[in-house]
Structure 1
Amino acid sequence: MSIDEVKRTPYAPATHGGAGDVRERLIDHWFPCTAVDAAVGTPAGSGRNEKAIFPWFASRPIAQARAAVLTTLLPNDAAHRQSVEAAVRHGSAEAFDRLAEAVTKNYHGRTPVVVDIFSGRGMIPLEAARVGATAVGTDLSPVATLAGRLLADWSMRDWSAEAPLPFESDVPAVLDFADTHRLVSDTRLLHEEVGRRTRQALAKFYPANQDGRRPWGYLWTVSMPCDQCHRRFPLIGSLVLRHPNSRKQDLGQAMSLITVGDTWKVEVVDGPANGQPTYSSAGKKGKSARCPFCSHVHTLETVKAKGFAGQYVDEPLLAADFANGDGDAKKHFRQLRDEERRAALSASPDELPKAGQLSAIPDEAIPPGNVHTVMASGYGYTNYGQLMCDRQTLLFGTLTEHIRACHEEMLDAGVSAAYANALAGFAAATLMRGLRYATRGARLRCHGKPDGSGNNNVQVGDLFANEAVLSFQFDFFEVGIGKGPGTWAGLTETGTTPLATHLRGRRGTTARLRRENAMALPFRDGTVDAVVTDPPYYDMIEYSDVSDYFYVWLRRIMADVQPDLFAETIGTEVAPNLQNKDDEIIVRRVYNGGVRHDREFYERSLSRAFHEARRVLRPDGHLVVVFGHSDPDAWLRLLGALRDAGFVVTSAWPSRTETSNTGVASIKVTVTIGCRVAAPQRPIATAAQVDREVATAVKAAVKQWDADGLALTDQLMAAYGPAMEVYGRYSSVLLPNGERANLDRYLTLARTSVRDATALKLDQLPLETFDAPTRFAVFWQRLYGRTDVPKGEARFLAQADNLRLEDMRGALLTESKSGFKLRLDGPATFSDRSSTFEIARVMAKAWDDGGTEAVATVLAKSDRQANDAHLWAVVAEIVRQLPASDPVAKALSAVQRNAGTIGTMIQYAAAVADREADARAQLTLPFEEDLS
């Protein structure tokens, strides 16, 4: 069809009549953005309690999951908004009751079916079940599926009729269980039994102190032979054990490394460290290891080669006690007694019995090329069982053995298989939380400051440097079998409390969680009312790689308990006996064989998953997607996949779900995207027509967002909703040359329309009359001020003016590891081609250097007139956005007050500049004549 033949018939969305028509949902018109933003900082809305039950990755706050489910199930009726707000903000029981009744009424007594095809830990199915929906969660990962069963299935059941457990408690209860579920007390009882048996089995490997108490933990390191003197030395990255605390008159503690002949030892000293670590950063070349005997320096490559050659040895260094009893927060470090050292080195996991058909200790190989995720594999540790020292491995293997044994005893005592499975699952979850504080990667975290001005608490650090990386270092901390943070006893306390809190809010039905592939859903066509999901975030996390560390241990506990998740081998040829990676819908940073997970794979696979969602949805069903990413390309891939699958985006609602992140600014916004199935026969439109409609729709939405108090940065994300809704009205959008307009055109136009609609009040001058770099800089300052902004988020903003972020570096932005920051200092050079924003910055510097005359000279040299409205508007805008105490604000305020004087001096300054130019020309003229 030619461009002249394009039909211009206005698009009308399909309607459905009759009983049960719920096509228009609340999410199409309203979302409790403010309530979600407020709730994510509270215990009830953050999801921290739910996350404490099982360690899974990148889950959204429960307030956002709740809002997404409720606005999807409820019709567009303003009467429901107050109840939704109350449920999201406070978890109000009364509000939930009203909403559950409204959901039932909306579906005319029929129970709606809600499916989450990327369910993760099960937050969305949990919230759907709370209001009485039939909730189903599917996930490719068996680890995630187990997490979902713990949260949304087993913990929601009534176990009151179960037979008593065959264990007795010898520990007084520290929790009030009167208003909680029996599951909590039985979970605690099982944990106590597993802990008691483990302490008895391993007592000889963890000798007690003279008072009968056992150390909280032990500091270890790895040693290697020196290439020059051939003596073995320890790789210690920090000598600090506890920072001083002036308020408590605590001098702190440190290690002192001492060499004696061909041997070395460490001693504990009070006060700050007075030596140097043996393994530390060497500038741009990365870390290096220095031999304390001969001072020979080994490069990082040499250090890694030692590991692959099998030359590392684990070395126990120190013990950590509580200074005044088990409950004292102060950790006191001391030298190991000889018997403690012998006991630590004598521990071996080789004698542990097999875990069913599996070896007692995980021998599954870490996939090659995976050093960016499992960092220890870059140092010669090639399977998951090697990630710990022998005594750590023995501890976890023993815990696994006793969980399995207790599960069998519960069945023999008449406990139902379902209840025994649930209790074993919660014990396995505690083991998983313990794994986060184990291996060569769980470092000693010393809070405080060297000058003693901070709180000097000491704890064992989380193995996960972030949610995407299992960290590694040579000096690491091992928790013991007694009491303290990270121990089995400590994890029992910190796990049972959130479970009790979770069960106090129990309502609705149980959800069903299944391990399934999102690209092949096990549901019949047209049987699902809503698909609400939080898909994998592009290249942020390689979920299966980071959770294989959990999976290999869970197999040894749960293969008989949950055979549908852990009994069969689900891995691939590249990674046998691990989780399925071929069908994982992510962008993988490193290709290590098998399926190539590039950007095209991500979009293609996500489109297949959305096609499946469309297949199983009823004609009036909705798809709702929660997504957040700092890379515009990730958004392009997601929205492209939705369109390819036949969906029309109807709304996009941003939520500030990452408010716990402090420091530099990052993408803190996730967007809840409402979608409907596209109409079967949609018209074709011209790009010019759609451009106008998108701009009009976004600008109209901005007015409402301003009234609702939606932040400007959030409006940039929210603009995708109206833009995609317009774009989705048409089967094709044609450019003048007959080619199709791509999706990226309208993502950029959405952001540009927000910028153009924003009331910057630059003396009422149209924003488009300013030069592009100035538009960019002014909008940046309004959005971010002087904070650091990650590259991805900065690229979003640059695209609104069709600018390349690289071109802004230096002139308008400075770059650091934290991201980009807007420059307000005076540029080193300027000319009549400099942007208006740059000239305003030069004026500020000139005022500080030379007052009115210097500013007038700047205006003359940049060929600016005294009445340049655009320049003075930018000066006023910079002053408005800065605090009054800011030096730039002070200088420009002074420039504003002296604008009249500066104006009269411009001609004089210009004449002086002309005379200086003539003089320079006269000096060079003879030389130039000689050349001719």
Structure 2
Amino acid sequence: MTTTTQAPTIDTRTTADTASDVHSRLIDHWFPCSSVDAAVGTPAGSGRSEKALFTWFASRPIAQARAAVLAALLPNQAIHHNDVRLAIERGDLGAQQRLRQAIAAQYPAGRPVVLDMFSGRGIIPLEAARLGVTAVGTDLSPVATLAGRLLADYTLRDWSAEPDLPFGRPSTDEGLFDEAEPRLLNDVRLVLAEVGSRVAAATSPLYPRSSTGAFPWAFVWAVTIPCDHCKRRFPLVGSLVLRHPYTRTADDGQSLRLVTDKDTWRTEVIDGPPTQEPTFAAASGKKGKSARCPFPTCGHVHTLESVKSMGHAGQYRDALLAVGEEFQGSRKVFRVPTEQEVNVATSVDLSSLPSLAGLCAVPDELIPAGNQDTVRASGYGYRTYGDLMNARQTTKFVATARAIQEIAAECVAAGVSTGYATALAGYAAANLPRQLRRATRGAKLLSHGNPNGTAQNRVQVADVFSDESKVSFNFDYVEAGPGNGPGTWSSVSESGINALKKVLGESPAGRPGRFRRASAVALPFRDGSVDAVITDPPYYNMIDYADASDLFYVWLRRTLRELMPDLFDQTGRDGLQDKTDEIIVKRGNAPGEHRTRDFYEQMLSRAFGEARRVLRADGHLVVVFGHTDPDAWRRLVGALHDAGFVVTSSWPSRTETASTGVASIKVTVTIGCRVATANRPVATATQVDREVAERVKTAAREWDRDGLALTDQLMAAIGPAMEVYGRYAKILKPDGTQAEFDRYLTLARTAVRDATALKLDELPLETFDAPTRFAVFWQRLFARSDVPKGEARFLAQADNLRLEDLRGALLTESKSGYKLRIDAPSTVSDKSSTFEVVRAMAAAWDQGATESVAAVVAQSDRQPTDAHLWAVVGEILSQLPPSDTVAKALTAVQRNAGTITNLTHRVATELAESERDNQPTLPFATKES
């Protein structure tokens, strides 16, 4: 049984074919930044439901996608501003309908066409599809392409003519059917329940029921190794806590205890906190974990490298430690496994499993070399994706894939269309990634609460993607059983149904999106056939999309290969997703890795070149981007420039933290671009320098009024600088050579610094010496936190400083990056920066109060009334907490400014006399950093 996905039919008339094409769009002049900021933390704007429908990476708030689509398609008319705000902030359906009509009035039939060439989970195409336009999404990953179809294609189709499913329509009392709900939602709920029932029946011999007749919801496992010294095998356990205590409910909690006999060990489940130390942990006061043999007569300690070598030698074995059951509502209780449970769990034979879709039932695809950073288990000797879970877990996933295939075949046999059967199978298969997030050897037991019992003590299964796209690994892990509980089929089915229900409820009308797997450097569309390319490209080296999602791919391929051959019957040479054209910088040191910085830069330029090819002459390119590394911005802007685009606008929004709760990027920038015209003028660098500085300063003052943080302003400033840069065909320096755009990235940051409302006693920041300007701005931006080397170097360039010259004098360096010094400098002289002199003044106060401070001022050859000196004193004070020792010292210095001024004149005179008499200068003792 197969389906074939047709290539989207796109209207290919050129601009000259119609008279109603729009040349100026909202995004060129206005963007609802404040509305996006306000909406990203709300149900209407966060996109949590859309993101929960299918597991993918790099989540983006739906408010930003909606704003980008609307601003790129609407004509530049102020009449639309209020409706745009209502649509974004409240999800107002009436406003969306009016905007939909306004867009339709601007284009002929079949248009506009919106393309996202890095569509990922399909958030941007969904927003376009909801507006009734032709929305097309392409992605190199078949996993991402499936996600897009589930979100923005199948949800917008009319399935009302489909016959009943062959399992019979359940009664409303069963909670699986509701006449008032959409047909798709009811049928997906029914299919998921049918899959769960069949899997439970198929695997029930592997999961003995408890005394109450229920299946356990969880099983706690650990990897065991043979001790290098005594040769006895023992489990590697990182935590003995099963459930923390909670005094409010009189819950003592539960813990594991290892009991050793002469040559064997066993577990006990005890009430209360652990009474032993874990066998795999870091020694007190030391970094790096090690494994300690728990047998009293041994106690040998194994280094992590020794433990890893055992894995590569095939010496790991799985052992069942505890079983989790439901008790008294939400309280999870654990017990020791029975002998029957241990025997059944450890005697599963995978060799007898029949193949799936012509493939080995157990994923035998090798984890590519060099993936220890992304698929962590590969660094411990696990070679294939089938190795990432134990045999019983694997059997349950195989049974799930087989049940989905059988149900789809039965639906078609009963008269259901192949397209609908494929859609239903797709939603069922979406449960596999959701379960995989709570499965494999990376899913540890997550015990909320604390040892003293003052916090709620919920028990869950941890997400294996603990660090965005890194598949974690743990020696002790949890297997979700067939019962009801975290990570089980019923649990992930409920979350999927809830997500689908909300997506359907917020999509009352629209045109189904079209999704196909395609490379961004070879788009399968004709020249000049797209009105807007709106995309969120890969962020440099932030996420290894394909390598991380191969865990999903190997199971989806076994489930959907025959239903979706266009996605899951096309693989790379290794049987995994084809990574030939993946536009990322791969982390790690894989041998022969082609996804390098140069590759990323070249391929991104080619991708934007393809965007230019398929765009109509009046079309817009809109890029959503955010990254903390300036080099990533250089490569993005360079790729746009090389592809022949000019930036027309840039709009910062505070999206990331509200969207994900934790993020390294707080702001993303929506960048509007047009194809560069052929008749752009030539300008001098002096002229463009002035224009860039003025444009960024104007924008920065607006951002400051809006409360945008300085670090965010630095990122946002790239857009206005590139707007000016793109106006000219050439920018010539005095020597006749062309100015590079790197010059304007630096100038943009300098302009932000110069425009900041630092006050400094009303003295312009430009009037301070360069090291002080650098230090003051650094402290405003980063306070006492560590800053990566690339960012530090970029900030220094704004003042024409070299990072090497600042190291020691103003900055300290560590593995974490660079940090600003506020301790005393090693020496002070007339060549010292004002910032260094003020630091010396703070140290001097602790050593000799006013006289020592006066000596510092005199030694630095500063006038005691120097406004710049006292401005920096006040600035440093404003940035430090009152409890800080430097803050206390400078507060005292401020209060005694008059006395210090008088003393400085006397000290200066004494210094002059001592120098004339060749006597030693007044002592000034400082601390070395």
Q: TM-score range by the shorter chain?
A: over 0.9
Structure 2 residue aligned with 1:329 = 330
For 1:659, what is the secondary structure of its paired residue?
helix
CA contact (8 A) 2:115 2:137 kept: yes
Aligned to 1:834: 832
Question: What does residue 119 of structure 1 align with?
Answer: 119
Distance 1:188 1:701 in 2: 50
**Alpha-carbon distance in 2 for matches of 1:341, 1:214:** 15
Structure-2 residue corresponding to 1:440: 441
Q: Give 1:547's aligned residue.
A: 549
Distance in 2, Cα, partners of 1:374 & 1:220: 20
CA distance 1:831–1:261, shift in 2 (3 Å): farther
Partner Cα distance (1:807, 1:208) in 2: 70
Q: Which deviations, in whole Å up to 9, do the C-alpha atoms of 1:624-650 show, x marking residues without a partner?
A: 111111111111111111100000011
Aligned-pair CA distance for 1:825 = 4.7
The one-letter code sitting in structure 1 at the alignment partner of 2:489 is: W
- Aligned-partner residue type, residue 68 of structure 1: A
- 1:59–1:120: 8 Å Cα contact kept in structure 2? no
2:221 matches 1:220? yes
Aligned twin of 1:686: 684
In 2, Cα distance between the equivalents of 1:665 and 1:917? 57
CA distance in 2, matches of 1:177, 1:805: 66
The Cα shift of 1:785 comes to 4.4
Residues of 2 paired with 1:305 and 1:249: CA distance? 45
- Deviation at residue 346 of structure 1 after TM alignment: 2.4
What is residue 9 of structure 1 aligned with on the other side?
none
Which has the larger displacement, 609-618 or 888-897?
888-897
Partner of 2:647 in structure 1?
Answer: 649
After TM superposition, the structure 1 stretch with the greater mean CA deviation from structure 2, 636-645 or 195-204, is: 195-204
Query: Which residue of 1 is the match for residue 166 of structure 2?
Result: 166
> Within 5 A, what are the aligned runs for 1:841-860?
841-847=839-845, 850-860=848-858
Aligned equivalents of 2:477, 2:141: Cα separation in 1:
29
SS at match of 2:586: coil
Kindly tell me: are residues 663 and 424 of structure 1, through their superposed partners in 2, closer, same or farther at Cα, counting changes over 3 Å? closer
Q: Is the 8 A contact 1:713 1:783 kept in 2?
A: yes
Kept in 1: contact 2:244–2:457 (CA 8 A): yes
Residues 1:72 and 2:72 aligned together: yes
Q: Could you tell me how far 1:849 is from its partner in structure 2?
A: 5.3
The aligned counterpart of 2:323 is: 319
Q: Distance in 2 between matches of 1:871 and 1:833?
A: 14
- C-alpha change, 1:850 and 1:333, in structure 2 (3 Å) is farther
Identity %: 62
Matched with 1:376 is: 377
Displacement of 1:911 in angstroms is: 5.3
Give 1:211's aligned amino acid. T
- State yes or no: 1:758 paired with 2:759: no
Q: Which residue of 2 aligns with 1:715?
A: 713
- Could you say if the C-alpha distance between residues 339 and 831 of structure 1 is closer, same or farther in structure 2, counting changes exceeding 3 Å? farther
Q: CA deviation at 1:321?
A: 1.6
Q: Which amino acid aligns with 2:117?
A: I
Q: What letter matches 1:437 in structure 2?
A: R
Alpha-carbon distance in structure 1 between the residues aligned to 2:160 and 2:817: 54
For 2:654 and 2:785, how far apart are their aligned partners in 1?
17
What's the CA shift for 1:879?
3.6
State the match for 2:207 in structure 1.
206
Once the two structures are TM-superposed, the CA of residue 373 in structure 1 deviates from its matched residue by 0.9
| Partners of 1:788 and 1:342 in 2: CA distance | 52
Paired with 2:223 and 2:544, the residues of 1 have a C-alpha distance of 28
Tell me how far 1:835 sits from its aligned partner: 2.5
Contact 1:280 1:288 in 2 (8 A): yes
Name the SS of the counterpart of 1:289 in structure 2: strand
Q: Which residue of 2 aligns with 1:404?
A: 405
Instruction: Please state if 1:627 is matched with 2:625.
Output: yes
Which piece of structure 1 moves more, 611-620 or 441-450? 441-450
Matched-pair contact (CA < 8 Å) for 1:860–1:906: yes
The Cα shift of 1:668 comes to 1.5
Residue of 866, 869, 874 corresponding to 2:864? 866
From the superposition, tell whether residues 547 and 900 of structure 1 become closer, same or farther in structure 2 (CA, over 3 Å).
same
Matched residue, 1:188: 189
What are the superposed Cα offsets for residues 213-249 of structure 1, whole Å, 9 maximum, x if unpaired? 2222011001111222211111111222222223333
Deviations, residues 594-616 of structure 1 (Å, cap 9, x unaligned): 66221111111111111111011
| Equivalent AA in structure 1 for residue 68 of structure 2 | A
Structure 1 runs not aligned, ≥5 long: 1-14, 925-932
Query: Which piece of structure 1 moves more, 912-921 or 138-147?
Result: 912-921
Deviation, structure 1 residue 819 = 6.0
Cα distance in 2, alignment partners of residues 127 and 429 from structure 1: 21
Deviates more, 1:749-758 or 1:662-671: 662-671
The structural deviation recorded for 1:544 is 0.6
User: More displaced, 85-94 or 848-857?
Assistant: 848-857
Structure 1 counterpart of 2:423: 422
Residues of 1 paired with 2:263 and 2:256: CA distance?
A: 19
C-alpha change, 1:96 and 1:887, in structure 2 (3 Å) is farther
Report 1:152-301 matches (<5 A). 152-168=152-168, 169=170, 172=173, 177=178, 179-281=180-282, 286-293=288-295, 294-301=298-305
1:123-157 deviation digits (Å, cap 9, x = unpaired):
01001111121100000000000000000000111
- Answer yes or no: is 1:310 the counterpart of 2:314: yes
SS of the residue corresponding to residue 594 of structure 2 reads coil
Deviations 1:374-410 (A, max 9, x none): 1111111111111100111111111111111111111
Are 1:288 and 1:298, in contact at CA under 8 Å, matched by a contact in 2? yes
One-letter amino acid of the counterpart of residue 238, structure 1: S
Question: What is the CA distance between 1:197 and its match in structure 2?
Answer: 1.1
Please tell me whether the aligned partners of residues 114 and 528 of structure 1 are also in contact (alpha carbons under 8 angstroms).
Answer: yes
How many residue pairs get matched? Answer: 903
Q: How far apart are the structure 2 equivalents of 1:242 and 1:917?
A: 73
- The two structures, once aligned, show a CA RMSD in angstroms of 2.7
In the alignment, the residues of structure 2 paired with residue 250 and residue 42 of structure 1 have an alpha-carbon distance, to the nearest angstrom, of 35
SS across alignment from 2:650: strand
CA–CA distance in structure 2, aligned partners of residues 375 and 333 of structure 1: 28
Q: Hey, what's the Cα distance between the residues in 2 that align with 1:663 and 1:491?
A: 21
**CA deviation profile, 1:720-776 (whole Å, cap 9, x unmatched):** 122112211222222233332212111011111121122322233232221222212
Segment of structure 1 superposing worse, 116-125 or 201-210: 201-210
Question: Which residues in structure 2 correspond to 1:683-832 (within 5 Å)?
Answer: 683-786=681-784, 793-805=791-803, 808=806, 811-813=809-811, 822-827=820-825, 830-832=828-830
SS at match of 1:126: helix
Map of 2:516 onto structure 1:
514
Counterparts of residues 436-475 of structure 1 (less than 5 Å): 436-475=437-476
Partner of 2:3: none
Q: Report the alpha carbon displacement of residue 893 of structure 1 after superposing the two structures with TM.
A: 4.0
Q: Distance in 2 between matches of 1:909 and 1:446?
A: 64
Shift of the alpha carbon at 1:270?
2.0
Q: Is the 8 A contact 2:813 2:819 kept in 1?
A: yes
Residue 890 of structure 2 corresponds to 892
**Does the 8 Å contact 2:240/2:278 carry over to 1?**
yes
- Asked if the contact 1:664–1:788 (Cα under 8 Å) also holds between the matched residues in 2, the reply is no
Cα 1:662–1:436 change in 2 (3 A) is closer
Q: Does 1:637 find its partner at 2:635?
A: yes
TM-superposed deviation, 1:787: 5.4
Relative distance call for 1:807 and 1:267 in structure 2 (3 A) is: farther
Partner AA of 2:778 in structure 1? W
Quick check: 1:876 aligned with 2:870?
Answer: no
Question: 1:95 Cα deviation (Å)?
Answer: 1.4
Cα distance per residue 1:312-335 (max 9 Å; x no partner): 1111100112231xxx22221211
C-alpha distance after superposition, 1:8-45 (max 9, x if no partner): xxxxxxx9999324222111122111211221112221
Between the aligned partners of 1:334 and 1:719, the Cα distance in structure 2 is 59
Task: Evaluate the alpha carbon distance shift between residue 620 and residue 797 of structure 1 in structure 2; reply closer, same or farther with a 3 A threshold.
Answer: same
The alpha-carbon distance between structure 1 residues 351 and 43, as it changes in their structure 2 partners (threshold 3 A), is farther
Deviation at 1:164, TM superposition (A): 0.9
Assess, with a 3 A threshold, how the Cα gap between structure 1 residues 162 and 381 changes in structure 2: closer, same or farther: same
> In structure 2, what residue type is equivalent to 1:369?
G
**Do the aligned partners of 1:177 and 1:184 also contact (CA within 8 Å) in 2?**
no
Residues 418-450 of structure 1 show CA distances to partners (whole Å, capped at 9, x for unaligned) of 111111000100111000111111111122222
Name the aligned partner's letter for residue 242 of structure 1: R
Which of 559, 562, 566 matches 2:568? 566
Say if 2:531 is the partner of 1:529.
yes
In structure 2, do the counterparts of structure 1 residues 636 and 173 end up closer, same or farther at CA, with 3 Å as the change threshold?
Answer: farther
Tell me the distance in 2 between the aligned counterparts of 1:300 and 1:401.
Answer: 39
Judged with a 3 Å threshold, the aligned counterparts in structure 2 of structure 1 residues 110 and 392 are, in CA distance, closer, same or farther, namely: closer
SS in 2 for 1:75: coil
